[in-house]
Each structure stands twice: as structure tokens, then as C-alpha cells.
Amino acid sequence: MGDMKRAMTLSEKIIARAAGKKKVQPGEIVTCAVDLAMMHDSSGPRLAGKMLDELGVPIWDVDKLVVVTDHYVNLPDETYVRMQTHAAEWCKSHGVKHFIQDKGICHIVLPEYGHVRPGLFCVGADSHSTTAGALGAFMVGIGASEMTGVLATGEIWVRVPETARIEVKGRLGAGVAAKDVVLKICGEHGIMGFDYQVVEFCGSGVDAMPVEDRLTLTNMAAELGAKTGIIAPDAKTAETLAAWGAGKVDVKAWRSDADATYAKKIVIDGAALGPQVAAPSSPENAADVAEHAGTKLDQAYLGACTGAKVEDLRMAAKILKGRKAAKGFRFLVAPSTARMRERAAAEGTLKVLEDAGATILPSGCGGCIGMGAARLPENAVGISSTNRNFLGFWVEAPKVSRARTA
């Protein structure tokens, strides 16, 4: 009887619904029905899709699968073309209704095309699938083998995670964004500080953030070692999702109970937080930007699902208007999605960046994964808006190149 009265966090409520149960508690193992599955051109047709075909079974529900091409989109060479062609042909042969090609990074494209809504239980074949949690959904990253099981059955087992509550108090100051919040947490708690926990972000600082910035918070829950990140939906969420084609959504039902139990509670003073930079070679090597004053840079990359949404581009344009990159300095910009690129172009933001010396790259994951023009050259020092700066990510020669993330 006591269990039936147990208060639940937002994540526990979503898991319980997906498992067909009234209540769940941390540590319990349940089987959940998947509302939405997402995979991209690197993790999808060539890996999970291949294994599904070897099993000889169809996709459990083509209405609930979204395939996005975003990794092999930056260069028109043979490998890129082959990957694109294979993804398109596999989706066509399997009757995939939601195939989104060359429109930007999957984690932003997925909600931007109306596929994410509060209360959904979702999986994605990429570690940063946690992004969808900013919209009140529970979404976790899984491997190709797990995705194959989901494609075949529409189900996946889950050990119900504990929830950690991170409250951001106070509106962020000028030049400070969600990325700085997460880097601050990384620096204080480490990249495994929330191992197999859900990080629930809340507080007046989160409430004040545009939804685009909230996406960065939950995206980088992966850098905290969390199972996923989540934010209770509000009126901003509903407005944004309506504009993105998700229709009318229920934002009141999906929130944690007031007396829910949390594994830990952390408070961040958002009003006092300054810009953060993570030095090589981990997001947890974060500190105030002042500690790196005077560092000579060879390249700046404004891209990724964490740093090149319209709000991010506007912030950069405000700083760079009327200024010009130094001669020989590489300034590269890859807007997160094609639609965001169009919005930034229409309002003049993109022109400000181009006037400052930016080279505009295709919308995709290339710069994050060491592919394409944004790859950091040997013996170079670069700064980027990517979510990671691990050795082997973004850099061409990890032993000699130094990648910083800001």
C-alpha cells in the first residue's frame, strides 16, 4: 500500500507509463514500450539496420522510427556519398516514413520536425539523444545491438535510475549560457559524477532560458555520466513545440511530485556564473575563461548540437559585429540545422558572422567527430562550442593538437 502512495519524479512517471505500471522505483527492472526511436546514418542502417536484416524481421512500427543523416554530410567524397545512398535506400526498402536527409544534427532536427513531445519514452542510437529531455521526454542513448532489439520488438528493458536535482538559481548574465552551467557542473563533479542517474534541471535560471538553450543542458547530461537529462515542460515548451509542428501538448501532467525523492540536490548560482572553458582533454577540466586569458588560438569552431542553434549564433554575432578575425585565423561556423541556418540568414545574423571572417559549413556533426573542414590541424590550438574535447574528437593529431571547448 505504501508503494502505491510513493511520490515519483518526472522520469519515474514516464517510465511507469511506458512499462504499463502505476508506480516504479529506483533499482526496479521493467520492460518499456518505446514511443519513438531515432538513429542516424552512422549508427542506423549500416549497423542496427544490418543486424535487423540478418534477423529477417520487419521494423516493429515504421511510424515510430526516425532516421536522420548528419554524420556523413560534410564532404562529397566517395565514402560520404555511399553512406548517404545506403541510408536512403535502406529507409525506402523498409518503408521508413520519417527519413530526414541533410537537414542538420539529429538531436536538434528530431524535435524541430515535431517528433518529440512531453511524456514520451524514447531511445536514440547516439549518446547525446538525451537532448530530447529538455522538452519533457525521457530519451536515452543506446548502442546498435540494443537498437536492433527495439527495431524488432518495440521494447527495451530499463533499470529505473535515481534522479539528481540540479537547481539553477537566478537568470544567467550577459555572455553566459547553458553550456557554461554544464561545464561548471562537470568541473565540480566530474564526467561520471552522475553515473546512471537522471539529471533533472530546474530553477528560475532554467525557467528564464530559451528552449534552445535548455536543449544544451540535457544534451550534456551525457558529459555528466548521466543516464539522461530532463526538464519539466512549461509554457515556453508548449509554444516552441507548437511552432515546430508537434501540435498541442500537455505540459501540466509531466512534472515531478513536490515530495519526490532525489539521490542528491545541487544548487548553482546562475547569476554569479561566468563563462567557462574546458581545457584539454576533458569537459571536467573546466574553469573560468579568465584562467585562459592570453592563450593564442589558431581556430574557432561554432558548431554542434550544443553551440550553433540560432540563439548561439545570435550571441556570437552580438560580440563579433564590426570586428574581423585576424589574418590566417580559421573561423568556422556550422549551424545546427538547415532551418536554423535559414532563420539566421533571414535575420542577418549569418551575414554578421561572415563579415567577421566566418566560413559557413554544412549543418552536420563533422566538426565534432573529426571529419570535414573543421578538423583541427596538427600542432594547432582551437576553441569550439562542441560538447566534448576528448582526444580523438575533433582533432587530427591528438598528441599534438589542443582542443578546448567553451
The span from the CA of 89 to the CA of 197, in Å, is 38
**pLDDT score, position 3:** 56
The model's pLDDT over 262-285, given as tens digits with 9 standing for 90+, comes to 999 999 999 999 999 999 989 999
Task: Provide the grid cell at 34.
Answer: 518505446
Q: Note the CATH architecture for domain 277-405.
A: 2-Layer Sandwich (3.30)
The residues that bridge with 100 in the sheet, in sequence order, are 68
pLDDT higher than 70, residue 101: yes
The span from the CA of 10 to the CA of 7, in Å, is 10
Whether residue 194 contacts residue 224, with contact meaning beta carbons closer than 8 Å, is answered with yes
Query: Of how many residues is the chain composed?
Result: 406
pLDDT higher than 70, residue 247: yes
Confidence of residue 373 (pLDDT cuts 50, 70, 90): confident
CB atoms near residue 204 (< 10 Å): 14
The span from the CA of 82 to the CA of 71, in Å, is 12
For the chain, give the percent of residues with pLDDT over 70.
96
Q: Where are the domains of the chain?
A: 11-269, 277-405
**pLDDT score, position 135:** 98
**pLDDT score, position 16:** 98
Confidence of residue 376 (pLDDT cuts 50, 70, 90): confident
Instruction: Answer yes or no: same fold for 11-269 and 277-405.
Output: yes
- SS3 of residue 337 by DSSP: strand
Average pLDDT, stretch 350-363? 97
The CATH H-level superfamily of 11-269 is Aconitase, domain 3 (3.30.499.10)
**pLDDT score, position 226:** 98
The span from the CA of 401 to the CA of 405, in Å, is 13
Average pLDDT, stretch 300-318? 96
The span from the CA of 81 to the CA of 113, in Å, is 24
